[in-house]
């Protein structure tokens, strides 16, 4: 009777072992260890998709600019089209490099998810946004020199960067509210909402020169926001990590006499 019962209990295991090409259980068992590789692969696929989408967007915008312009305006459209096609590759490489970094991460699962993955996303959106702003500024310079409108990559990444920065900024605002320093949180929020662009850099005027200058200053501002957001996130992550370690083995930070 006992043998029959054991045979019945082992039936799922026995049948599962006999199934052809059945490696799904091993796949699930190794899924946690493969998480970093899968995440890196997802970023690499995302880099390819971003490259294709960016090139399509740039070519369409370039053709529209060329057809809607004349004379030097068409020259400006062609030059900016070539610059933006060039820009698409280093922009995509930012995402690809992030995937390589995540794949080779040596962190444990908790640090990988809550530190490496989040900070990498913040860096990717910040660096991509900065590159878009930089190449957009170069095209604005060409447009100003040729007294025509330049073109930029038609991908809205400023909203994406703001979303990536939301976690450290919200955490900072909550912390400062707890310690009654709301005004400091307001200053930080105003800084992250600050945008130096707005006017079009056209015409040989002082306003045109100033507009071109603001385009380049926007690149510096994007990077400043990025590194401030990273610093804030590392600060709060360090506090939470230290608190978690203390909870596992609590002690009082006093020397015994």
Report the pLDDT value the prediction gives residue 220, as an integer from 0 to 100.
92
CA distances from 212 to 127, 144, 204 (A): 20, 8, 11
**Considering the entire predicted model, what is its pTM?**
0.76
**What's the CA gap between 210 and 89, in Å, rounded?**
29
Which SS3 state, helix, strand or coil, does residue 179 take?
coil
Render 6-30 in DSSP notation, one character per residue. HHHHTHHHHHHHHSTT--HHHHHHT
Report the pLDDT value the prediction gives residue 154, as an integer from 0 to 100.
47
Cβ–Cβ < 8 Å for 61, 151: yes
Report the pLDDT value the prediction gives residue 140, as an integer from 0 to 100.
83
Q: 128 exposed, middle or buried (CB, 10 Å; 0-12, 13-18, 19+)?
A: buried
Report the pLDDT value the prediction gives residue 179, as an integer from 0 to 100.
57
Where does residue 21 fall: left (phi above 0), alpha (psi -120 to 50 degrees), or beta otherwise? left
Tens digit of pLDDT at every position of the chain (257 positions): 667 766 666 666 676 666 676 666 665 665 555 778 888 888 889 899 989 988 888 888 888 877 877 777 788 888 888 998 999 999 999 999 998 998 888 888 888 888 888 888 888 888 998 998 899 888 888 888 887 665 555 445 445 545 555 656 666 666 656 655 556 666 666 777 777 776 555 556 777 788 888 889 989 998 988 888 888 888 888 887 888 777 777 766 555 55
């Amino acid at each position: 009777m006992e043998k029959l019962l054991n045979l019945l209990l082992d039936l799922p295991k026995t049948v599962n072992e006999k199934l052809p090409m059945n490696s799904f259980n091993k796949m699930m068992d190794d899924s946690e260890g493969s998480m970093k590789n899968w995440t890196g692969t997802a970023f690499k696929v995302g880099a390819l998709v971003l490259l294709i989408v960016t090139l399509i967007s740039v070519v369409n915008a370039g053709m529209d600019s060329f057809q809607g312009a004349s004379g030097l305006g068409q020259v400006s459209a062609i030059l900016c089209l070539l610059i933006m096609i060039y820009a698409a590759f280093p922009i995509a490489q930012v995402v690809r490099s992030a995937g390589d970094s995540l794949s080779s991460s040596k962190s444990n699962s908790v640090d990988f998810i809550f530190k490496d993955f989040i900070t990498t996303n913040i860096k990717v959106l910040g660096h991509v946004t900065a590159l878009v702003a930089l190449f957009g500024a170069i095209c604005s310079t060409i447009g100003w020199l040729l007294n025509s409108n330049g073109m930029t990559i038609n991908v809205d990444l400023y909203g994406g960067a703001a979303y990536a920065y939301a976690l450290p900024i919200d955490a900072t605002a909550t912390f400062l509210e707890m310690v009654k320093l709301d005004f400091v949180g307001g200053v930080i929020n105003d800084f992250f909402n600050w945008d130096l662009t707005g006017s079009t850099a056209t015409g040989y005027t002082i306003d045109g020169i100033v507009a071109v200058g603001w385009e380049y200053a926007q690149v510096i501002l994007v990077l400043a926001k990025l590194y401030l957001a990273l610093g804030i996130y590392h600060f709060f992550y360090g506090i939470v990590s230290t608190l978690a370690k203390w909870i596992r083995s609590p002690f009082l930070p006093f020397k015994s006499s």
